[in-house]
Chain A
Amino acid sequence: MPRQEVLEKTKLSDRMFLFKPCVGSNKYPGLITASIEFCRKLGIELVTSDDQTCCGGFLTFTNVAQPTSTMPAVARNIAVAEEMGLDILTLCNGCHTFLTEFSHFMNDRPPVKNVVNVILSMIGREYKGSQDIYHSLEIIYKLKERIRANVTRSLSAMRFATHYGCHYLNGFKKTALDDPHMPTIMEELIEAMGGEIAEYGENRTCCGTGLTQIIINKEDLSLPHTKMKLDNLNAAEPDAVVVVCPYCLAQVDRMQQKLNYRGSGKYRVPVIHLVQLVALALGVDMVKLGFEAHAISFKNFLKKFDSIHSKAGVHDG
């Protein structure tokens, strides 16, 4: 159940700054194009900027750069959106966490904000803290009824498992749009687009990236954890699993390939970001969804999807 007060605070505007995620640009480019296209269909223009870099917060929490280095790097990225007077839409649990946590940290501590701005003034920028930072789940949920009214390719008879990831719900347990233990907002969205839910027990466990564990303890921790999650997921027989973070997407998609390659089982569940799913239901051009960049094929998924639609006599735009 969404928290009403968070939902009320979420502001929709006609133009928003799309904060491009690294993984979502250079590994899964469909996230960017799908977001731009489905928002256009709903009357929202997403603006991007080449002045935006990696959010920068990742480097702090992986301990390769001190917070004193990454704070100005994060503030610089937010300043790029502020200069355009736009609120920020993030597609990644990580970007969302770092932008939000660091901006709160600076807003609550004027001396820190001042020091950051001394550095930013040397590059001709300023961090004001004037714009809102949103997770794509918040904006998409806010658009739920508009989405429902604009579905041209219903997801009916398709079964979806959900994976919320860690950092949005757990990290913001008091301020996120939904409760971290039993969230339902993604399920509500899928149902609003006509889809069905495949429930599984390990829904709320980490994808296994573990921020650094995929790098520092891949064989011992990350991979076995992902395998455990995937085995549980497979038993629910979903047509696809829906995520809201490109890191989760990369882990669940690519580790299936790895486990298959190593002969550790048969893993064939396509992984789809919520923005791609919404774009699919709203009839965005298939090329713009970027399924071709995924390691696990969407062939069976699309076959089933198309056969349902041709039976129903629905024309796929």
Chain B
Amino acid sequence: MHETNKEWLPGFDKKFAELTHQMVKDLEKCLQCGKCTGQCPAAKLSSYNPREIIRDLRMGNVEKVISSHELWLCFFCSGCYAVCPRDINFPFAVSMLRYAALAQGYGWEEVKKIKDPYAQDYYSTGLSVNVNERNLGVRKEIAKNSGTDGRIETVRRKMGLPPKRRVSERAMSEIKFIADATGMTDLFKEINKKKAKEKKWNYGSPADMVKVKKGANQKFIDVEDEEKEKIC
């Protein structure tokens, strides 16, 4: 779909400046040269287009951006920042725009996917990755390579390490205190129960949003995994 300024809302950017911790304001410097999009891995595979998003933000179409599917496709690879002649740190802006989206009710289903294994592990063990290997395929490979049962605990023991990395009790009580005092604990609870608003905007057609879905990579989606896994 072509870009449009139909949604132009005067003053929208100012209204959102606070929500986005003033990070989005650098976007005024954008030349619309498109170097960012040219090397963007997400743009290569989908209708995501950082230059176009910046254009929309500059025109005041903030609602369009924060209600879009595309806002959740960035890889945070910072490749755009590396090539940008105006040094715009776009992934920072994306992160802040995602907070703005959450404030308006969008994207809660996405952060729930992240919160469930990783943030929960951080909260209960102090580390965002635990030793349990949920992918049985990987465990089988490790078992073969190490001549053990394939559990990282076993491999760690073999290396003379405790079965899992230790985090002191003091550290645990300190990070819980920080989480409680700064609202992290409450935000986790909110993520659990919050019902997300449906995203409204697609830059491409919905079917096009992720082009690969339709084409050669179909088999990625068809094959069932051995077990629901978490890679790292």
User: Quick one: which of A22, A49, A294, A296 contacts B128, CB cutoff 8 A?
Assistant: A22
The count of chain B contact residues (Cβ–Cβ below 8 Å) is 87
Q: Tell yes or no: A305 within 8 A of B by CB.
A: no
Q: Tell yes or no: B17 within 8 A of A by CB.
A: no
CB pair A53 B72 closer than 8 Å: no
CB pair B141 A224 closer than 8 Å: no
Known: A25-B127, A169-B82, A225-B41. A62 touches B167 (CB 8 A): no
**B182 → chain A closest CB, angstroms:** 4
CB pair A223 B220 closer than 8 Å: yes
CB pair B177 A295 closer than 8 Å: no
CB pair A287 B159 closer than 8 Å: yes
Contacts of A125 in B (CB 8 A): 174
Per-residue A-contact encoding for B98-130, CB less than 8 Å = 1, 0 else: 110010000100110111001100100011111
CB pair B77 A166 closer than 8 Å: yes
Q: Tell yes or no: A27 within 8 A of B by CB.
A: yes
Known: A50-B167, A257-B137. A293 touches B174 (CB 8 A): no
**A177 → chain B closest CB, angstroms:** 15
| Segment of B8-16, B50-58, B210-218 in the binding face | B210-218
User: Quick one: which of B82, B113, B129, B141 contacts A26, CB cutoff 8 A?
Assistant: B129
User: Quick one: which of A26, A73, A180, A250 contacts B165, CB cutoff 8 A?
Assistant: A26
Q: Tell yes or no: B31 within 8 A of A by CB.
A: no
CB pair A264 B161 closer than 8 Å: no
CB pair B129 A22 closer than 8 Å: yes
Per-residue A-contact encoding for B136-178, CB less than 8 Å = 1, 0 else: 0110011011101000100110111100111110111111011
The count of chain A contact residues (Cβ–Cβ below 8 Å) is 89
CB pair A26 B122 closer than 8 Å: no
Smallest CB-CB A-B distances: 9 pairs? A210-B75, A292-B146, A250-B232, A170-B78, A53-B126, A211-B76, A220-B210, A25-B165, A69-B184
B residues near A (Cβ < 8 Å) are 21, 41-42, 44-46, 72-79, 81-83, 91, 95, 98-99, 102, 107, 110-111, 113-115, 118-119, 122, 126-131, 133, 135, 137-138, 141-142, 144-146, 148, 152, 155-156, 158-161, 164-168, 170-175, 177-179, 181-184, 187-188, 191, 210, 212-213, 217, 219-221, 223, 225-226, 231-232
